Amino acid sequence: MRLLVSRVCLLLSAFVFSTAAVAAQEHFSQTTDIDSPLLQSDKPYSVAEYRVSSIFDHSDLIHYPQNLSLYWIQTSANPPKPAKPPVEKIKRTAIDPSMVGYIDNAVVHSEVRVRFDAAMDDTTPDRAEFFYAKCGCYAFLTGTNAYDPRTPGPGVAPPVGIPRAVNFQQLYFYGEYAPHPHLSLFMQLPFRWLQAQSLPGVAQAFPNAGGFSDMQVGLKFAALASARHYLTFQFRAYTPTGDAGLGLGTHHYSVEPSLLYYQRLSERTSVEAEVGDTHPLGTSSGVPTVGSGGFAGDVFFYGVGPSYQFVRDEKFGVAGVLEVVGWNVRSGYVTGPANPSTAGVNIVNMKVGPRMSFGAHHSLYIGYGIGLTSAKWYRQIFRTEYRYSF
C-alpha cells in the first residue's frame, strides 16, 4: 500500500513539474527567439541551461517534449548608447580650384592664403592715390597754386622729396569663410615694406619704412555655380589702417565692386576673368589745390587668365597660367609729369607662372609679371602664394 501511494505521489509530482516546464518554455519562446540573431551575435551573453528528463514516456497520456530544456538568458553587456545624429555638412559644388595668381578667384569656398609680392620701379606711386597717398612734397611748395599743407603722403621738399622710383614688398594674410555654397566673407591683412630710390648723388626722398598697410574686407556672392562655371559678384572695402606718412596707405576709404567669372573648358583647360572699379570715398586736394577735383581717382580694371593642367593627378598637379590684367585710370592726379592729370591713362601687365596642387586642399603659385605699356604701376613683380582651401 505504501509503495502504491509513493508511486502515485511521484507520478503527480512529475506531472506538475513537466506541465510547469512546458508552460515556461512556451512563455519564453513567445518573448525571446532562441534562434534569433540576439543569441548569434558576438556580444557577451551568459546562458544557464536546466535540463529535465522525463521519468517515463507515455506520449498517449501526457504530451510534452522529450529531454525538455529550459533556457535562461542574462546579458552582461551595457545597453548601447543612442547614436548621435550626423552633422549636416555644407553641400558645395564640385569644381576645380582656381588656377590664377593675380585675378581674383570666382569660386566661393573657405580658404586661407599667404601671399608675398616683390615689385620694382614704381615711378608714380601716388598716381590717383591708388597705391599710397599724395606726395608729402606739396607741403613745401609755398607760394604756388599746388601748395598743400595737409598732404598726407611721404616726401620732403622737391626735387629731393620726389623719389625717382619706389621698390616695395608686401605680405598678405587672407582668410575666406563660406557659410553657404553661394556666399562667403573675406578679410585680408597686408604688411608692406617700402624703399625710395633716388638718382645717384641725390639724398633719399624719404626713409625706408615697413608696417601694416590698408586692411581689406568684403564678401562674394555666386549668382551662378555649377561643376563647370561660376559667376560671382564681389564687393571689397579698403580701410585706411596704414600710416600714409610712411607710404603704407592711401589715407582714405575705398570700395571696389567687381564681377568674377570661372569657366572650365575641358578636363584640363579653364579660363578666369574679372572686371570692376576701385572708387575712393575720400581724397586729398588736387592740383592746383583750389578749384580742381580730388587727387584720388576711380580706377577701372579688367583681366583674363587661361590655364592648362599639364599634370592632373589626385596627389599632385601642375598647371600653367597666363594672365593679362589692365587698368584704366578714370580721374585723379600724379606727382612728377609736367601734366599732373592722370585721367585716361591705361596700364596693362602680363603675368605668367605655374600653380602646383598637392592633394585636394593645398596649392602653391609662383608667378612673374611685367608692364606692357609705357605707364606702369611697377616695372616687374614676383609673387609667391600658398593656399589651403576647404
Name residues whose C-beta falls within 8 Å of residue 83's C-beta, 6 or more positions apart in sequence: none
In which residue are the cell numbers 619704412 written?
A: 209
314, burial (CB in 10 Å: exposed 0-12, middle 13-18, buried 19+): exposed
351, burial (CB in 10 Å: exposed 0-12, middle 13-18, buried 19+): buried
CA dist list (Å): 361 to 106, 111, 386: 17, 9, 11
Q: What is the pLDDT of residues 254-280, one digit of tens each?
A: 999 999 999 999 999 999 999 999 999
For residue 222, give the H/E element and its range: strand 215-225
Q: Which three cell numbers stand for residue 91?
A: 553641400
Q: What is the structure's pLDDT at 225?
A: 94
Reduce the secondary structure of 231-294 to three states and give it as a string.
EEEEEEEEECCCCHHHCCCCCCCEEEEEEEEEEECCCCEEEEEEEEEEEECCCCCCCCCCCCCC
Which residue, 104, 153, 151, is CA-closest to 124? 153
For residue 217, give the H/E element and its range: strand 215-225
Q: What is the pLDDT of residues 354-366, one digit of tens each?
A: 999 999 899 999 9
Q: Tell me the one-letter amino acid at 193.
A: W
Q: What is the structure's pLDDT at 187?
A: 98
Per DSSP, the three-state class of 138 is helix
Q: What is the structure's pLDDT at 188?
A: 98
Domains of the chain: 2-75 (no CATH), 111-389 (2.40.160.40)
8 Å CB contact between 147 and 196:
no
Q: What is the structure's pLDDT at 351?
A: 98
8 Å CB contact between 350 and 369:
yes
Q: What is the structure's pLDDT at 88?
A: 54
Q: What is the structure's pLDDT at 80?
A: 66
In which residue are the cell numbers 582651401 written?
A: 389
Q: What is the structure's pLDDT at 5?
A: 42
8 Å CB contact between 131 and 165:
no
CB atoms within 10 A of CB 67: 8
Q: What is the structure's pLDDT at 180?
A: 95
Looking at the DSSP assignment, which residues form a beta bridge with residue 86? Answer: none
Low-confidence residues of the chain, pLDDT below 70? 1-96
Looking at the DSSP assignment, which residues form a beta bridge with residue 262? Answer: 230, 272
Q: What is the structure's pLDDT at 195?
A: 97
Name residues whose C-beta falls within 8 Å of residue 225's C-beta, 6 or more positions apart in sequence: 93, 95, 108, 181, 182, 231
Q: Which three cell numbers stand for residue 233?
A: 559678384
